[in-house]
Amino acid sequence: MLRFDTLIIGSGLAGLTLAIKLAEQQKVAIITKKSLLDGASGWAQGGIAAVLSADDSLDAHVQDTLTAGAGLCDEAATRYVVEHGKLSIDWLIEQGVPFTKDSSSGMGYHLTREGGHSRRRIIHAADATGHAVQETLATRVLKHPNITVLEHHMSVDLITSKKLNLPGNFCYGVYALNTASDEVVTIAASNTILATGGTGKVYLYTTNPDTATGDGIAMAWRAGCRIANMEFIQFHPTCLYHPHAKSFLISEAVRGEGGILKLPDGKRFMPNHDERAELAPRDVVARAIDFEMKKHGLDCVYLDISHQPEKFLQEHFPNIYARCMDLGIDISKEAIPVVPAAHYTCGGVVADIHARTDVKNLYAVGETSYSGLHGANRLASNSLLECLVFADAAVKDILSKPRQNIPKLPAWDESRVTDADEQIVISHNWAELRHFMWDYVGIVRTNKRLQRAQHRIQLLQDEINEYYANFHISSDLLELRNLVMNAELIVQSALLRHESRGLHSSKDYPDLQTNPQPTILTPGNYR
């Protein structure tokens, strides 16, 4: 049995920030199911939102977030995050993150603007902010003597007092599959933090990496945690449409710097849908594109930034420029073909202002959590900010309390299972799940579509649970099991929301309710 003061599951921005800050006083482990830099944080292009300039204000950032969240943000949590934004950015600068400089600005860094923001407040490292931040922090993590990194370890399930038939409601660590050796190891910890990201891979088209399978959300649900607002899946409006692109995102900042959405005939359409046009929040833009594609029978629409000078594009969007050029698209001369794709999970594990969940000594930070910040729709570039602020909050809470005693934990028992005879069951179920979630639980929903999805999910769950009970586990089986659980939570949440708000658009309930509340699912009271 491995033992640590704090175990962090996930190596995105939240996980790396937690590790660096906790390691000054604790022995810390990060487990990640692939390599250290394979999470979604490294894919973030646009930047991090924070109040950094003299012509901006905390109230303006709070209001922009509340407006995007469409009446479902927790205002106290929102203000807490915004008020701690500058401290978080200052910490990243101290770590050496190479944000794009601008000598003409009062604070020395270039700030861009994205949809839903009333000011320029997005600090960035060209168009690869997540990569720059992750590379910088990973270097520090790998050098720190108090941090153990366990790559290629896939979490199986949390170890809780209830599962061990012990009194109380505590988390003691996790069982994890070492995918290199196919062994399940027991990892004990006084504190366990879920920083596993979202569940984008439950959909056929997504901007997320292959690791985004909702593992933390599913494990927390099985451990007895409440899950909230899973109906609010953000579809990024502009994913590059190309057979060889594989989920390449065209940053929000392209529209922030003047990019215009057009039909194939060159006609602009966003002003017909919203007075903010291309700078409307993501849900508005994604629905508008979806509407135009269905209306005209299109495979994609086009994002045109070619009116900007080539030098400007190469400086501000070097990775987008280079990737498109590799695919034969010169963005300085032609428009970029784009489609919406599943991008961000606004709901997740219910966590308080200290990132604590319903299970003691279990925390949730980042996209896997529901902090109340995003409401019915996340404001662009608030995601990395949430990771930073709540990671710091969790660190303070962990370091302020006495260390938890851990009982002797049993080893993983696989004495009653055998080797699987057919792996094809897993791949077929995975494909079926992602297709029907895209068709029935996508940008626009109906009760009938949701009920069809619910029926198929139940059939898949029965099949997967039988497979899980009888055969040796694999990473593919674990991910499929978690994705199906996330799909069930998404559909159940969507069926409970009888209105169209933010990212949840229902043809059966097109109007807004007057007193909206978060959708909170509680284990035991679920069905």
**What does the pLDDT look like over 240-259, one tens digit per residue?**
998 887 778 898 889 989 99
- How does residue 309 score in pLDDT terms, banded at 50, 70 and 90? very high
Residue positions annotated with a catalytic role: 282
Residue 495 is predicted with a pLDDT of 98
The dihedrals phi and psi of 409, each to the nearest 5 degrees, come to: -100, 135
Q: Distance (Å, rounded) from C-alpha 244 to C-alpha 514?
A: 45
Q: Distance (Å, rounded) from C-alpha 60 to C-alpha 52?
A: 12
3-state secondary structure of 116: coil
Residue 404 is predicted with a pLDDT of 83
> Could you write out the three-class secondary structure of 506-523?
ECCCCCCCCCCCCCEECC
Domains in the chain: boundaries: 2-44+128-231+346-399, 236-342, 424-507
- Specify the amino acid at residue 155: S
Longest distance between any two alpha carbons in the chain, whole Å: 68
pLDDT in tens, 61-118: 999 999 999 999 999 999 999 999 999 999 999 999 999 998 777 788 999 888 789 9
CATH 3.90.700.10 for the 236-342 domain, yes or no? yes
Residue 422 is predicted with a pLDDT of 67
Burial of 55 (0-12, 13-18, 19+ CB in 10 A): exposed
Q: What percent of the chain has pLDDT over 90?
A: 79
Q: What percent of the chain has pLDDT over 70?
A: 99
- How does residue 527 score in pLDDT terms, banded at 50, 70 and 90? very low
Task: Identify the CATH number of the domain defined by range 424-507.
Answer: 1.20.58.100
What is the pLDDT averaged over residues 488-508? 96
Residue 377 has pLDDT above 60, yes or no: yes
Highest mean pLDDT among 109-113, 128-132, 203-207, 398-402: 398-402
Residue 281 has pLDDT above 70, yes or no: yes
Is the Cα dihedral 204, 208, 211, 212 positive or negative? negative
The CA–CA distances, whole Å, from 482 to 39, 199, 209, 217, 402 equal: 17, 9, 16, 8, 33
Crossing angle of the two packed helices 13-22 and 129-143, in degrees rounded to 10: 30
Q: Distance (Å, rounded) from C-alpha 269 to C-alpha 294?
A: 14
Burial of 10 (0-12, 13-18, 19+ CB in 10 A): buried
State the pTM of this model.
0.90
- How does residue 503 score in pLDDT terms, banded at 50, 70 and 90? very high
Q: Is 328 left (phi over 0), alpha (psi -120 to 50) or beta?
A: left
Average pLDDT of the chain is: 93
Task: Identify the CATH number of the domain defined by range 2-44+128-231+346-399.
Answer: 3.50.50.60
Alpha carbon of residue 234 to chain centroid? 9
- How does residue 526 score in pLDDT terms, banded at 50, 70 and 90? low
Bridge-based pairing of strands 183-194 and 2-9 is: parallel
Q: Tokens at residue 94, please? A: 């101290």
Q: Distance (Å, rounded) from C-alpha 306 to C-alpha 285?
A: 20
- Specify the amino acid at residue 64: D
Residue 252 is predicted with a pLDDT of 82
Q: Distance (Å, rounded) from C-alpha 278 to C-alpha 483?
A: 32
Residue 423 has pLDDT above 80, yes or no: no
Alpha carbon of residue 229 to chain centroid? 13
Between 265 and 281, the more confident residue is 265
